[in-house]
Amino acid sequence: MKLKFTKMHGAGNDFVVIDAIHQKIDFTQAQWKQLANRRFGVGADQILVVEKPQSAGVDFRYRIYNADGGEVEQCGNGARAFVRFVTEKHLTDKRAIKVETMSGVIEPRLEIDGDITVDMGAPILDCARVPFDSTGLVGKNQGRDMLWPLDVNGKTIWISAISMGNPHAVQVVDDIDSAPVEMDGPVIERHTRFPKRVNAGFMQIIDRSSIRLRVFERGAGETLACGTGACAAVVAGILRGLLDSPVKVSTKGGDLRIAWQGETSSVEMTGPAVTVFEGEIDL
């Protein structure tokens, strides 16, 4: 079957985006994985599938598959690519869109300057809902945050466990360039304390309104940027008393702006989304 797709990226986090409103999509996990494969397929960190809404009051449903073929709950950079896609394909003429995801409704909007802002909803800080198993662990308070010890490669690291619809373990490091992302990322991703696995964030604080961030993503490895990872890092930094909203998050692929007013407020993420090329593939 010939599949039409669009290759896109948001700050270098790259996507294959598929219109499943006008094409019938019924792929296996192995086929998603092949599509995302950089040698045997198109290549992407995530595959984004745009569908008709399932509930009243929303405009679209948006589904996310990691490069390993597994379906996941949320993708921040993908949400901005999604808006660029439905706008360029004339699937809507709205500038503010309501989108169903596996983890709830998010509300992206197209800004006048072409950037896209996404209301990502409030962070989830309750360990059980992240999900993170803190049974028997002794945490330590930093500001309003609770840091948890994790044994990783023979040392203890201290993480914030946060969900932005998808799970994140965020740690502060002195220097992002020498942080052990390749070595510790895969171990944190599959740590037994995270029953659904986790995205591992490494954050360097530059000043109270800027950080540098690398994320080893669940199901995709280190990416050039992770939108939900940026949201989780800023939430952790604000809770720890290290950051004030808004915060510039510099990633290997570009900058994002994250604003959060605390506890029950939504996290707002602003950044770019770019179409690279259109294609067709026979799977």
Ligand X SMILES: N[C@@H](CCC[C@H](N)C(=O)O)C(=O)O
Do residues 51 and 63 lie in contact, with contact meaning Cβ atoms separated by under 8 Å?
yes
Do residues 249 and 233 lie in contact, with contact meaning Cβ atoms separated by under 8 Å?
yes
Helices 227-239 and 76-88 meet at what angle, rounded to 10?
A: 140
Phi (first) and psi of residue 162, to 5 degrees:
-140, 140
Q: Which of residues 163-182 bind ligand X (CB under 6 A)?
A: 166
247 in contact with ligand X (CB under 6 A): no
Do residues 279 and 3 lie in contact, with contact meaning Cβ atoms separated by under 8 Å?
no
144 labelled binding-site residue: no
> In a 3-state reduction of DSSP, which class is residue 32?
helix
Question: Active-site residue among 110, 198, 225, 226?
Answer: 226
Query: Among 32, 38, 40, which residue's Cα sits nearest to residue 14?
Result: 38
Tokens 């502060």 locate to 172
Q: How far is the CB of 215 from ligand X (least distance, A)?
A: 8
Count of positions on this chain that bind ligand X (CB under 6 A): 19
Q: How far is the CB of 229 from ligand X (least distance, A)?
A: 6
* Catalytic annotation present for 231: no
Q: Which of residues 56-95 bind ligand X (CB under 6 A)?
A: 66, 72, 75-78
Binding region for ligand X (CB under 6 A):
13, 45-46, 66, 72, 75-78, 166, 199, 217-220, 223, 226-228
Active site residues: 75, 226
Residues at the annotated binding site? 13, 46, 66, 76-77, 166, 199, 217-218, 227-228
Residues at the annotated binding site for substrate? 13, 46, 66, 76-77, 166, 199, 217-218, 227-228
